[in-house]
């Protein structure tokens, strides 16, 4: 990805560890996003940045992981809000969407931003409770139909 050198330079200039999960051109975005989200979930990494064409597919995959929050960002403001309001551990960007000239500013703003628990703590707690509830195993089909009055024919 043409954005990777700029992103890694921001990390390295700050003395932060840079781990490249891309693994080469044969890997597809779902596998890369799953690896990064898994590293966040396990505690191996604190934050991650994912890049694909639009950033949207990466965010969809990363958000499948319990208690992992990924946000697609396009500018410095959305990067700050992803962290300050949503405590996003991962940001995603689209190489076909984001101007390469602002990538360093996006990454810098996101790394500098801190979650604001006074403004967004209650909302994030609600997001976590929804995440916890929705990640429970799905009920058996018959139980689901009984509770919701749905029946397939």
Strand duo 48-52 + 90-94: pairing = parallel
**CA–CA distance from 139 to each of 42, 100, 135, 146 (Å)?**
27, 46, 11, 11
CA-CA-CA-CA dihedral for 61, 58, 111, 124, to nearest 10: -40
DSSP alpha helix (H) spans, 1-153: 4-13, 29-42, 56-62, 76-84, 103-112, 117-134, 141-148
Question: Which residues are the active-site residues?
Answer: 52
């Amino acid at each position: 990805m043409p954005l990777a050198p700029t992103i890694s330079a921001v990390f390295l200039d700050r003395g932060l560890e840079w781990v490249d999960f891309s693994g080469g051109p044969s890997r597809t975005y779902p596998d890369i996003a799953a690896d990064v989200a898994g590293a966040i979930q396990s505690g191996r990494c604190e934050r991650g940045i994912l890049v694909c064409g639009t950033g949207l597919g990466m965010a969809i995959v990363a958000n499948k992981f319990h208690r992992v929050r990924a946000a697609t960002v396009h500018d410095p403001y959305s990067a700050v809000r992803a962290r300050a309001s949503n405590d996003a551990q991962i940001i995603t960007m689209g190489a076909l969407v984001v101007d390469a000239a602002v990538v360093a500013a996006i990454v810098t703003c996101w790394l500098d931003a801190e979650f604001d628990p006074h403004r967004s703590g209650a909302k994030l707690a609600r997001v976590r409770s929804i995440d916890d509830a929705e990640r429970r195993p799905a009920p058996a089909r018959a139980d689901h139909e009984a509770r919701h009055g749905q029946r397939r024919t």
